[in-house]
A and B are shown apart, each in its own frame.
Chain A
Amino acid sequence: MSADPALARARRRRRVEAALPWLVTLAAFLLWEGGVRILGVAEFILPAPSAVALSIQKWWWPILENAGQTLFTTVLGFLLAVAFGLALGVAIGSSTLLYRGLYPLLIAFNSVPKVAVVPVLVIWFGIGTWPAVITAFLISFFPIVVNVATGIATVEPELKDVLRALGAKQTDIIRKVGLPRAMPYFFASLKVAITTAFVGSIIAETVAANAGIGHLMIVASSRFDVPLVFAGLVVTGVMGVLMYAVAAAIERRTTGWAMRGQDGTGLAVGG
Chain B
Amino acid sequence: MPPPPFVQVEQVSMRYGGLEGTLALQAADLAVARGEFVAVVGPSGCGKSTLMRLVTGLWPATAGRVTVDGRPVSGPVAIAGMAFQNPTLLPWRSILDNVMLPLEVVEPHRRQLRRERARYEAEARELLAQVGLAGFEQKYPWQLSGGMQQRASLCRALIHRPALLMLDEPFGALDIFTREDLWAVLQEVWMARRPTVILVTHDLREAAYLADRVLVMSARPGRIIAEREVGFQRPRRLEDTYAPEFQALVHELRDHIAAAREEGPDAARREAADVR
Whether B142 contacts A260 by the Cβ 8 Å rule is yes
A176-B101, A176-B105 known; A161 vs B82 contact (CB < 8 Å): yes
- Chain B positions 151 through 179: 1 when the CB is less than 8 Å from some CB of chain A, otherwise 0: 00000100010000010000000000000
Whether B97 contacts A270 by the Cβ 8 Å rule is yes
Residues in B neighbouring A271, C-beta threshold 8 A? 92-93
Residues in B neighbouring A255, C-beta threshold 8 A? 92
Residues in A neighbouring B58, C-beta threshold 8 A? 161, 164-165
- Closest residue on chain A to residue B79 by CB atoms: A167
A158-B88, A165-B80 known; A270 vs B94 contact (CB < 8 Å): yes
Whether B88 contacts A162 by the Cβ 8 Å rule is yes
In whole angstroms, what is the CA distance A180 to B93 when docked?
A: 10
- Closest residue on chain A to residue B76 by CB atoms: A164
In whole angstroms, what is the CA distance A166 to B102 when docked?
A: 7
Chain B nearest CB from A188 CB (Å) reads 15
Whether B78 contacts A166 by the Cβ 8 Å rule is yes
- Closest residue on chain A to residue B164 by CB atoms: A165
* Residues from 69 to 99 in B contacting A, C-beta threshold 8 Å: 76-82, 84, 86, 88, 90-94, 97
- Closest residue on chain B to residue A164 by CB atoms: B76
Whether B92 contacts A257 by the Cβ 8 Å rule is yes
Whether B140 sits at the interface, judged by CB under 8 Å, is yes
Chain A nearest CB from B195 CB (Å) reads 13
Interface SS of chain A: helix, strand, loop or mixed? helix
Residue pairs across A and B with CB atoms within 8 Å: the count is 76
A158-B84, A177-B90, A180-B92 known; A261 vs B79 contact (CB < 8 Å): no
Residues in A neighbouring B101, C-beta threshold 8 A? 163, 176
Chain B nearest CB from A31 CB (Å) reads 43
Whether A156 sits at the interface, judged by CB under 8 Å, is yes
Whether A167 contacts B91 by the Cβ 8 Å rule is no
Whether A159 sits at the interface, judged by CB under 8 Å, is yes
Whether A258 sits at the interface, judged by CB under 8 Å, is yes
- Closest residue on chain A to residue B56 by CB atoms: A165
In whole angstroms, what is the CA distance A156 to B85 when docked?
A: 14
In whole angstroms, what is the CA distance A134 to B57 when docked?
A: 47
In whole angstroms, what is the CA distance A164 to B156 when docked?
A: 14
- Chain A positions 247 through 271: 1 when the CB is less than 8 Å from some CB of chain B, otherwise 0: 0000000010110110000001011
Whether B88 contacts A176 by the Cβ 8 Å rule is no
Residues in B neighbouring A180, C-beta threshold 8 A? 90, 92
Chain B interface extent, by class: 20 to 34
- Closest residue on chain A to residue B98 by CB atoms: A270
Whether A172 sits at the interface, judged by CB under 8 Å, is yes
Chain B nearest CB from A60 CB (Å) reads 45
- Closest residue on chain A to residue B102 by CB atoms: A166
Whether B88 contacts A257 by the Cβ 8 Å rule is no
Whether A168 sits at the interface, judged by CB under 8 Å, is yes
Whether A163 contacts B105 by the Cβ 8 Å rule is yes
Whether B106 sits at the interface, judged by CB under 8 Å, is yes
Whether B203 sits at the interface, judged by CB under 8 Å, is no
Chain B nearest CB from A178 CB (Å) reads 11
- Closest residue on chain A to residue B58 by CB atoms: A161
Residues in B neighbouring A172, C-beta threshold 8 A? 104-105
A159-B90, A180-B92, A270-B93 known; A165 vs B166 contact (CB < 8 Å): yes
Residues in A neighbouring B84, C-beta threshold 8 A? 158, 161-162
Whether B53 sits at the interface, judged by CB under 8 Å, is yes
Chain B nearest CB from A29 CB (Å) reads 41
Taking a contact as CB atoms closer than 8 A, the residue among B88, B94, B106, B140 that contacts A167 in the complex is B106
Residues in A neighbouring B106, C-beta threshold 8 A? 166-167
Residues in A neighbouring B166, C-beta threshold 8 A? 165
Residues in A neighbouring B160, C-beta threshold 8 A? 166
In whole angstroms, what is the CA distance A270 to B141 when docked?
A: 12
Residues in B neighbouring A159, C-beta threshold 8 A? 88, 90
3 interchain residue pairs of minimum CB distance: A167-B78, A165-B80, A257-B92
Residues in chain B within 8 A of chain A (CB atoms):
53, 56-58, 76-82, 84, 86, 88, 90-94, 97, 101-102, 104-107, 140, 142-143, 156, 160, 166
Contacts A/B (CB < 8 Å), 22 sampled: A158-B86, A159-B88, A161-B84, A162-B84, A162-B88, A162-B156, A164-B76, A165-B57, A165-B58, A166-B78, A166-B102, A172-B105, A176-B90, A176-B101, A180-B90, A180-B92, A257-B91, A257-B140, A258-B91, A260-B142, A270-B93, A270-B94
